[in-house]
Amino acid sequence: MKVLIVGGGGREHAIAVSMKKSSRVEKLYCVPGNAGIAQIAECEPSIGVMEFDKIVAYAKEKAVDLVFVAPDDPLVGGLVDALEAAGLRAFGPRQNAAILEGSKAFSKDLMKKYNIPTAAYETFDDPEAALAYLETAEMPIVLKADGLALGKGVLICNTLEEAKAGVKEIMLDKHFGSAGNRMVVEEFMTGREVSVLSFVDGKTIKTMTSAQDHKRAKDGDQGLNTGGMGTFSPSPFYTDEVDEFCKKYIYQATVDAMAAEGREFKGIIFFGLMLTPKGPRVLEYNARFGDPETQVVLCRMKNDIIDVIDACIDGTLEQVDLQFEDNAAVCVVLASDGYPESYEKGYVISGLEKFEDAEGYYCFHAGTKATEAGVVTNGGRVLGITAKGQDLKAARANAYAATEWVSFENKYTRHDIGKAIDEA
């Protein structure tokens, strides 16, 4: 079959590599794609992920059998609905279900209504009311812009002054655009964070192996929030006991809640969990694969990804036995120095060929571009160097060793991805 992937980052490259392994896939397409994806798929860099009409037309022109919509913006904007309306088979939640990620107020209300464990919260449309509430609230406190904000619309405020400044930033100065028309104010929780991705067919949910992201730009979790600087999988903190609790109170409950609301969810649900002293709590939901969680999860999946996707679309996921390798993987992001603020682009990347025959090593492209001079840097996050190992420590050593195989001007990486493993 022919498959079109919508997106163009490291996550999409990992999805493409996983699909390439499927005996059922004869040809892959990707919009817009990147230089890495272009090695295994026909890319159309001129089509953006929000150009729905162009994507529909491209999918029809190439007569694809399946469209995989990976990023949050087109999912929340209704690309799956547009594809289906045009008679195409698409994987991902429809717009009425992608709201699980698209509105934090929606997801918090859902959790409250269906008793799914999460931090206590209030929602505000009016900055004055938010300010009045904060006067009596306990600090630290967490402010979240309601809508999509590239994972950056969350402010953790230690003092009332910071919280007041945060309300101004989100609701008045509209630092995160219209995502800040509404704001959720949330209780501050402590604990380790774990990401659990899952396949969902509307009724059944099957979780994948756990992972952990490193969101801050600098070592020791310092610096600004980013899209993610590295991941490891599985998380040693995601114990059987935690899994049992989440199965009982979070995973199926979320799928059932969406169905009960008339918002049947088919696709990927990403549970951002915090393991608090009082037990696991939902930090956030995403309606898609995580980036760079996907890079360390899919490379360990034993199933044919197309079979699992088909089962999600057809409502037969219950029959799928989802299996992961009994090993570990670590992804270290190579970024352009200065990310997530300002950085330079256009530097030639050398050493990429070293990954070609290296079993268990992957060089997932994020911000790259093919030019006549070779592959050049084209974004803040450039590559996700990923390696497997028999355990987490071996995978980490392998991934860091492989970060040395490639070089480019202004290459930046965190040095402590997976350091938490040593405390497990």
User: What does the buried/exposed string (b/e) look like for 168-185 if buried means 16 or more CB atoms within 10 Å of the residue's CB?
Assistant: ebbbeeebbeebbebbbb
CB-nearer residue toward ligand AMP: 19 or 154: 154
Position of minimal CB gap to ligand AMP: 284
Which residues, other chains included, contact 332 with Cβ-Cβ below 8 Å and sequence gap of 6+? Answer: 229, 230, 384, 385, 386, 399, 400, 403, 413, 414, 417
Which 246-275 residues touch ligand AMP, going by CB under 6 A? 272
Neighbours of 344 (CB within 10 A): 11
CB-nearer residue toward ligand GLY: 261 or 293: 293
Q: Does 336 bind ligand GLY (CB under 6 A)?
A: no
Nearest to 328 by CA among 383, 393, 273: 393
Residues 36, 151, 280, 384: which binds ligand AMP (CB under 6 A)?
151
Residues 81, 186, 201, 213: which binds ligand GLY (CB under 6 A)?
213
Interface segment toward ligand AMP; rule CB under 6 A; list 87-95, 150-158, 204-212, 256-264: 150-158
Measured CA to CA, the distance from residue 220 to residue 351 in angstroms comes to 28
Q: Is the dihedral of CA 101, 155, 183, 135 positive or negative?
A: positive
- Shortest spacing between CB 298 and ligand GLY, in angstroms: 13
Are 59 and 83 spatial neighbours (Cβ–Cβ below 8 Å)? Answer: yes
CB-nearer residue toward ligand GLY: 216 or 369: 216
- Shortest spacing between CB 341 and ligand AMP, in angstroms: 18
Q: Does 215 bind ligand AMP (CB under 6 A)?
A: yes
Which 73-102 residues touch ligand AMP, going by CB under 6 A? none
Q: Does 286 bind ligand GLY (CB under 6 A)?
A: yes
Q: Does 151 bind ligand GLY (CB under 6 A)?
A: yes
Q: Does 186 bind ligand AMP (CB under 6 A)?
A: yes
Position of minimal CB gap to ligand GLY: 290
CB-nearer residue toward ligand GLY: 286 or 398: 286
Quote the Cα angle for 110-114-118, to 5°.
Answer: 70
Are 294 and 300 spatial neighbours (Cβ–Cβ below 8 Å)? Answer: no
Find residue 103's DSSP bridge partners. Answer: none
Give the residues lining the site for ligand AMP (CB under 6 A). 119, 142, 144, 151, 154, 156, 186-189, 193, 215, 272, 283-284
